[in-house]
């Protein structure tokens, strides 16, 4: 039996930092404090965009705007080159 999974958009630490407009060290700090929802694949952290947006809304912070998404995409395209 084949399972079907749908996780949605997933970001790296760099992409999430660009999306949230913070330094990557802030992301690692929040992870150490267990305040940021994320998961590991091997030694790399990943973040589900929908989960991050819900996390932001719970803290009364508006999710990233279109500019933040463009910045995250720019980081993603630079890293894949």
Q: What is the pLDDT of residue 50?
A: 93
Average pLDDT by stretches of 10, the chain with 81 residues: 77 95 96 95 95 89 61 65 59
Q: What's the start-to-end Cα distance of the chain, in Å?
A: 37
Residue 31 forms part of a structural domain:
yes
Residue 1 forms part of a structural domain:
no
CA atoms of 49 and 9, how far apart (whole Å):
6
**Domain range for 67:** 10-80
Instruction: Output the CA–CA distances (angstroms, integers) from residue 24 to 4, 20, 77, in the order listed.
Output: 32, 10, 17
The total number of structural domains that make up the chain: 1
Q: What is the pLDDT of residue 31?
A: 96
Residue 2 forms part of a structural domain:
no
Residue 5 forms part of a structural domain:
no
Q: What is the pLDDT of residue 60?
A: 76
CA atoms of 55 and 47, how far apart (whole Å):
11
Quote the pTM value: 0.71
């Amino acid at each position: 039996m084949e399972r079907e999974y749908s996780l949605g958009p997933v970001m790296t630490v760099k992409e999430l930092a660009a999306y949230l407009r913070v330094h990557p060290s802030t992301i690692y700090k929040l992870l150490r404090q267990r305040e940021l929802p994320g998961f590991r694949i091997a030694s790399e952290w990943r973040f589900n965009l929908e989960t991050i947006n819900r996390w932001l809304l719970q803290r009364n912070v508006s999710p990233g705007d279109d500019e933040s998404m463009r910045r995250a995409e720019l980081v993603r395209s630079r890293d894949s080159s």
